[in-house]
Amino acid sequence: MSRKSEGIAKLISELQGESQSAYYLGFFECFNQELYFEAHDVLEELWLKDKSSSDYSFYKGLIQLAGAFVHLQKNRLRPASALFRLTRDNLRKYPDEHADLDVKGVLDLVERWLTLLEKGELKVNPFQPGQGPRLYLQTS
């Protein structure tokens, strides 16, 4: 059982039995609703379970991606930029497609957001509530 909020625990419970971990799937559910802090929390549950996993840096990169958007929501542009760079560093270690995710597409998304931040000289927040990016898993 998740130590997280009741709503997150309910979400995880509903996602049990799918082809991927409920925590992994919950990350995407929360991320796509712009619940970036919750997305971070949900995936952290999976990430912390096994630090020797081959997916350790993968999950860490996704957690950092959600964290970058938390910072954007709070208008903290420098920390957001730093987390986007860390996301890029961690996800570059994986093939273009990994764990049913288009990693190359996520890396392209990270580059777009870094470019937007740099274009505004880290003074203009490009994030607009309700218009955040969406991430989807690929289906076989």
Supply the pLDDT for residue 77: 97
Structural domain count of the chain: 1
DSSP state of 138: P
Would you say residue 99 lies in a domain? yes
Would you say residue 136 lies in a domain? no
Would you say residue 130 lies in a domain? no
Range of the domain at 68: 6-119
Would you say residue 139 lies in a domain? no
Would you say residue 51 lies in a domain? yes
CATH number at residue 45: 1.10.3450.10
Q: What is the pLDDT of residues 60-117, one digit of tens each?
A: 999 999 999 999 999 999 999 999 999 999 999 999 999 999 999 999 999 999 999 9
Q: What is the pLDDT of residues 120-136, one digit of tens each?
A: 898 999 999 999 999 99
Would you say residue 1 lies in a domain? no
pLDDT at 4 over 60: no
Supply the pLDDT for residue 84: 98
DSSP 18-72: SSS-HHHHHHHHHHHTT-HHHHHHHHHHHHTT-TTSTTHHHHHHHHHHHHHHHHH
Would you say residue 66 lies in a domain? yes
pTM above 0.85, yes or no: yes
Would you say residue 24 lies in a domain? yes
